[in-house]
Structure 1
Amino acid sequence: MSSFKLTKYQINTTLLVFTFVFLGLNLITTERDIQGNYDFQIRIISPKKYLRAHKFVNIVKDDDLPIIQPYICIRALNKVLDPIKYLLCVKNVKEDIISKGLVEEGKFEEEIVSIVSDCVKIYPQATFIDIGANIGLMSMAALANNNKVIAIEPMINNIAYISASAKLNRKSHLIRYFNNAISNTRMRLYAWEEKQSKNGGGTIFLTKEELDAKTTSIVDTVEISSIILEDVLDQVDTEEAIIKIDVEGFECKVLYDYLASEEKKVYIPYIVMEWLLVLRNEGNNCPNLPLVIQAFYDSGYEPFDTFKRGPLSKDRVLKYWNNILWVHRTARKIPLSETPLDKFTIYFANNVTMVI
């Protein structure tokens, strides 16, 4: 009987092949990732256990997402207060203003990213709820601190970008995706956006009647289910949650019932929200603004500006602010200023400024 023996060369070659296979399966973040050529068909294991199934919340996993080709995946850098770094996949800079800011300057809404970063650091066990997550800029800031994240985003392509970034940061096990719109009622809604808009978060959701009444053409006829904040809080498995909300003027509808209720399901020490469209009562979605503001105060929240983090008087809240940070009086405090702003210049897109 002849015996089978491997030469030293064959043994070394076999070991080398196994080494390359092992490295290929385990190294996810590569130079190709950074250049936007990553094969996003590779699936990362989703969280093994969700809370009870919810008939309204559309929880999507990586396998449910469309395949996307990012313009580039870059390392975003936030320089305000405590610097944080993370990878973020962006869209074509000619078509998306958020991506343009990130590619050209390495940042977008830097002051909000800093607030989110500070909040999750003093509440490391809290769930970060990113309402209107877009491509996941704020979600990645929370994941950088290893907080659990719920990203709520009605546009499935945006969720695919968030998922891609979470994979590159190796944080997929910490984030869940809810493919829903959010309001104060559960209903079917339809996406509408101005044809030439480059605001990646500028899509609004209308009823069928409202959509039919629009005279301008639509970009996408996505049909989506809206949920309410209570549905989201049912899915939170931590005692605290931090909320960032940017839903194009629907903030009042989303938050009011929670604020007005005497018993809160989840303690929310910080809420950072877009404010300008709320003040304008955009789409008549916040006709009860005085009641909403009073509900914040009655629930124990105090308002701060997001630029210098100074306190806002009740009169100043009614001025044009781009964003407001609401801080619960019992919250552990992030760095805040005790000095109210005198005058401040807000810079918008297209070189528009406003002195307030």
Structure 2
Amino acid sequence: MCIKGLDVDSVISGYIYYEGYWERDMLQLMLKILQAYPNATLLDVGSNIGMFSVTAAAANYSVVAVDPFKTNLAYIRLSTVLHGSQDNVRYIPHTIRVIHIILEYLQGATPFVTADVARTKPSEEIGEGVESITFNELLDVVHTDTVIVKMDIQGAECKALIPFLQKKIKTKYIPYIIMEWQWITYNMMGLCPDIQPLIKAFLDNGYFPANVTTRHELDIETQKTWYDVLWVHQDAIH
């Protein structure tokens, strides 16, 4: 697993350097789910340097890694090349467009704004442009009918997932969605001012929330105490 210099990334890379992993419970959960769905694709949205993507690829599963920073995707590529699993991964260097006119926040809480907004900012505050894609558009480029989603986009999950959940005809079956939850409940950066539509959309589509460690169903009333959550479809293989 290739990591960044600790002077650059003391959090994720630093934890991997000292402990050998990142988010172990979620990582183990992902592998168990992929064992149940060996022909599915792992859609790693907000992949960063690829702890999940690299691990899944090493276990010979199909992966689509999505991150706006090409440097992060390059780390994933090098990690898989060194392991010989590079052919298992496709790379999407995009942000997830939550609505057609607004910004997106991904791993590291880096803000992305539209070109029109960028023109109003000082040049020193604006970096290289990045293409964006909606979650529904992203699903269209996945080759398999079944998709396992791991999503970490720093609170934007609320707006990113609702259009998929509210879509009447779905082209992909997603039995499991692994996601951070704390940033959503705290409305990080104002991206999810009302979480109830997201919860309702999950429930209306036959999903229930589960603990990422025990996989036991969670009580909706306790959702403000959740840190990470696994959304399980009622027809999913357990």
After TM superposition, the score normalised by the length of structure 2 is 0.91
Shift of 1:166: 1.1
**Greater RCO between the two (CA within 8 Å, min separation 6)?**
2
The answer to whether residue 2 in structure 2 is matched with residue 89 in structure 1 is yes
Q: Aligned to 1:136, which of 50, 53, 59?
A: 50
The 1:213–1:305 alpha-carbon spacing in structure 2 relative to 1, beyond 3 Å, is farther
Shift of 1:277: 1.0
**Which amino acid is 2:17 matched to?**
V
Unpaired segments ≥5 residues, structure 1: 1-87, 193-199, 334-356
Corresponding residue SS for 1:268: coil
Equivalent position of 1:163 in the other structure: 77
Aligned residues: 236
What CA distance in whole angstroms lies between the structure 2 residues aligned with 1:114 and 1:151?
18
What CA distance in whole angstroms lies between the structure 1 residues aligned with 2:43 and 2:115?
28
1:185-242 Cα distance to aligned partner (Å, 9 max, x none) = 34696989xxxxxxx6332323457668889x85x71321211011111111112000
The answer to whether residue 206 in structure 2 is matched with residue 300 in structure 1 is yes
Q: Do 1:163 and 1:172's aligned partners in 2 also have CA atoms closer than 8 Å?
A: yes
Equivalent position of 1:100 in the other structure: 14
1:308-327 to structure 2, matched below 5 A, reads 308-317=214-223, 319-327=224-232
* Larger CA Rg, structure 1 vs 2: 1
Q: Aligned to 1:110, which of 7, 16, 24?
A: 24
The answer to whether residue 117 in structure 2 is matched with residue 203 in structure 1 is no
The 1:270–1:190 alpha-carbon spacing in structure 2 relative to 1, beyond 3 Å, is closer
Equivalent position of 2:236 in the other structure: 331
Shift of 1:140: 1.4
Equivalent position of 1:248 in the other structure: 154
What CA distance in whole angstroms lies between the structure 2 residues aligned with 1:213 and 1:305?
43
Higher helix residue share: 2
Q: Do 2:57 and 2:86's aligned partners in 1 also have CA atoms closer than 8 Å?
A: no
The 1:140–1:107 alpha-carbon spacing in structure 2 relative to 1, beyond 3 Å, is same
Percent identical across equivalent pairs? 35
1:145-224 to structure 2, matched below 5 A, reads 145-186=59-100, 201-207=108-114, 218=125, 221-224=127-130
Equivalent position of 2:191 in the other structure: 285
> CA-atom RMSD, angstroms?
2.4
The 1:122–1:190 alpha-carbon spacing in structure 2 relative to 1, beyond 3 Å, is closer
The 1:209–1:279 alpha-carbon spacing in structure 2 relative to 1, beyond 3 Å, is farther
Corresponding residue SS for 2:175: strand
Q: Aligned to 2:133, which of 218, 227, 247?
A: 227
